[in-house]
Structure 1
Amino acid sequence: MNRTTATAIGFIAVLLWALLALFTAGSAPVPPFLLNALTFAIGGTVGVIWVIVRGRLSVLRAVPWTIYVFGTAGLFGYHALYYSALRLAPPAEAGLIAYLWPLFIVLFSGLLPGERLRAGHIFGALVSFAGAALIVLRNGFSFEAAATPGLILAGVCALTWSSYSVLSRRLGTTPTEAVAVFCVLTALLSVPAHLLFETTVWPQNVFGWISVAALGLGPVGLAFYVWDIGVKRGDIQLLGVASYAAPLLSTLVLIGAGFAQASWQLVAAAILITIGAAVAAMASRQS
């Protein structure tokens, strides 16, 4: 598989994450950690079945336990921090800080052997981040001292996912099949978190269950498998900048589904994110 193909496969994750907000809204009022347990259980089960059908179980047994700890910490840690941040701070502000992870991926990728971080990558990431900020903060920005712990957790959340993504490239020999185990273990860890911190509330109708299943199959399932391929074998700087398309596409999906309304911020964000991605792509071609 060449670098361009791997990058395209990795971008499928961004497209799937654009559906995260829609299906999460549809799964209400299921609490976060229960939703985590259900969706990762689906994503992990499908992954395990895929591994068995391909006769690759022996590959999983050969993966060191430290890799499983690393992968599970990345998936569960990111979601636990994200949910906690949104509980302790205003969702828009916490969400924006959490969405620093694509920028961090671009910056951290410069530490990887064989990678060249150009000024265009950084500039493109900053421009795209400005576009994402327009979407996330379209209803205004406010800061209260009481929200500080949540904002700090959001920052740690961004560092967690960016570190997981960049370090995954250093684990290039680890088969993508291992992601199935990461998902299963994340689902198992989410169960005690739910029992400790939440009240159990199941989906209230058929659409709610369909949303849970769709999350498990897509944004919290297939997305992590294709992302693994992208960050290990593709253009990680371009993927980082392209990830800012997720909040834009997510907003477009919500508008199409009637959950949100179009605005000038959306148009401006689309222009900024497109420019940022184009600049990063040009920088990649020069590498």
Structure 2
Amino acid sequence: MSAATLYALAAIALWGTLASLGTSLSHLPPFLLTGLALMIGSVMSWPAVLRNRQAWAVPARTLALGIYGLFGFHFLLFIALRHAPPVEANLVNYLWPLFMVVLAPALLPGLSLRPLHLAAALLGFAGAAIAILGARNAGPAATDAGYWGFLPALGSAFIWASYSLWTKRVAAFPTTAIGLFGLVSGVLALACHALLEPQASLSARDWLLVALCGLGPLGAAFFLWDMALKRGDARQIGILSYITPLASTALLMLVTQRPPSWTIALAALLILSAAVMGSRIRA
């Protein structure tokens, strides 16, 4: 097994815990949680910056893109997990591989949208629709407020897809720069918390979970993923990423004590099948 594959699988394993951690910390204000976790996640790049200040030297455009991706994606995901049944919201969020297929011709020059692209996108949206309809059987969370919560889930998927594509249109940046993206995004989120949200106190358990969130899915996973993409075939590594929604959803079901249902299973199958189909289409 290549080093690139190992890095990718390690990132996927960490991302699989994000929705469960976010749900366990749902009592914290979302800006506070996002800010603390992103700042903690940036810590891993600090030693490199102390050795070489150029480790964070990126153009303003690249920094803005990093803030858009890291801050925007995670904030909307946490909002979705608070206002929609978490399992269904998690599945809708994982439409981002399909969004990448559909948006690629618009955001990247030289690419076209083929019939198979559209077929994969429609299959993915069918899975999302089944996930949303399945929320009717989710209990108290399946209310009008719950359906509203799917909008930020779709928004987070769009942001991550567009961020991933736009990184190919900016100058190449070192992996350590992701720490800068996380630090600035974290400061921005904490500023929003101070201005817009009520103050909150964290218990020892909260701090432990926030630290795990920051060091894992909002920290090490980004560095590992970037290292994988720099060392391997992005198409092959991209296929591996479709393990994430299944692992994440399975773990989230255990945490929320949700029994398996045919709607969840069918939605997961459709979204995964669509993502794999889209990944196999040559540009």
TM normalised by structure 2 equals 0.75
Q: Whole-Å Cα distance in 2 between the matches of residues 213 and 24 of structure 1?
A: 12
Q: Which residue of 1 is the match for residue 56 of structure 2?
A: 60
- Is contact 1:106-1:237 (8 Å) kept? no
Q: Whole-Å Cα distance in 1 between the matches of residues 80 and 255 of structure 2?
A: 27
Q: Which residue of 1 is the match for residue 192 of structure 2?
A: 193
Q: Whole-Å Cα distance in 1 between the matches of residues 56 and 43 of structure 2?
A: 14
Q: Which residue of 2 is the match for residue 17 of structure 1?
A: 15
Give, in angstroms, the shift of residue 21 of structure 1.
1.9
Q: Whole-Å Cα distance in 1 between the matches of residues 151 and 24 of structure 2?
A: 29
Q: Secondary structure at the match of 1:139?
A: helix
Q: Which residue of 2 is the match for residue 31 of structure 1?
A: 29
Q: Which residue of 1 is the match for residue 173 of structure 2?
A: 174
Q: Which residue of 2 is the match for residue 259 of structure 1?
A: 257
Q: Which residue of 2 is the match for residue 209 of structure 1?
A: 207
Q: Secondary structure at the match of 2:134?
A: coil
Q: Whole-Å Cα distance in 1 between the matches of residues 7 and 61 of structure 2?
A: 26
Q: Which residue of 1 is the match for residue 163 of structure 2?
A: 164
CA-based RMSD of the aligned residues comes to 3.9
Q: Secondary structure at the match of 1:30?
A: coil
Give the aligned residue type for 2:65: F
- Is contact 1:60-1:177 (8 Å) kept? yes
- Is contact 2:7-2:227 (8 Å) kept? yes
Q: Which residue of 1 is the match for residue 102 of structure 2?
A: 107
Give, in angstroms, the shift of residue 156 of structure 1.
4.7
Q: Whole-Å Cα distance in 2 between the matches of residues 143 and 261 of structure 1?
A: 19
**Aligned residue pairs, count:** 276
Q: Which residue of 2 is the match for residue 78 of structure 1?
A: 73
Q: Which residue of 2 is the match for residue 41 of structure 1?
A: 39
Q: Whole-Å Cα distance in 2 between the matches of residues 250 and 52 of structure 1?
A: 32
Q: Whole-Å Cα distance in 1 between the matches of residues 19 and 158 of structure 2?
A: 21
| 1:140 is aligned to 2:136 | yes
Give, in angstroms, the shift of residue 165 of structure 1.
1.1
Q: Whole-Å Cα distance in 2 between the matches of residues 34 and 65 of structure 1?
A: 25
Change beyond 3 A, Cα 1:30–1:127: same
Name stretches of at least 5 consecutive residues in structure 2 with no aligned partner: none
TM normalised by structure 1 equals 0.74
Q: Secondary structure at the match of 2:44?
A: helix
Answer with 126-135 or 168-177: which moved more: 126-135
Give the aligned residue type for 1:203: L
- Is contact 2:8-2:240 (8 Å) kept? no
Q: Whole-Å Cα distance in 2 between the matches of residues 172 and 232 of structure 1?
A: 14
Q: Whole-Å Cα distance in 2 between the matches of residues 183 and 28 of structure 1?
A: 21
Give the aligned residue type for 1:123: A
Answer with 66-75 or 190-199: which moved more: 66-75
Deviations 1:137-156 (A, max 9, x none): 532297969x87x7666655
Deviations 1:173-220 (A, max 9, x none): 1222111100000111111111122223233343x3322111101111
Q: Whole-Å Cα distance in 1 between the matches of residues 249 and 100 of structure 2?
A: 23
Q: Secondary structure at the match of 1:140?
A: helix
Name stretches of at least 5 consecutive residues in structure 1 with no aligned partner: none
Identity %: 37
Q: Secondary structure at the match of 1:176?
A: coil
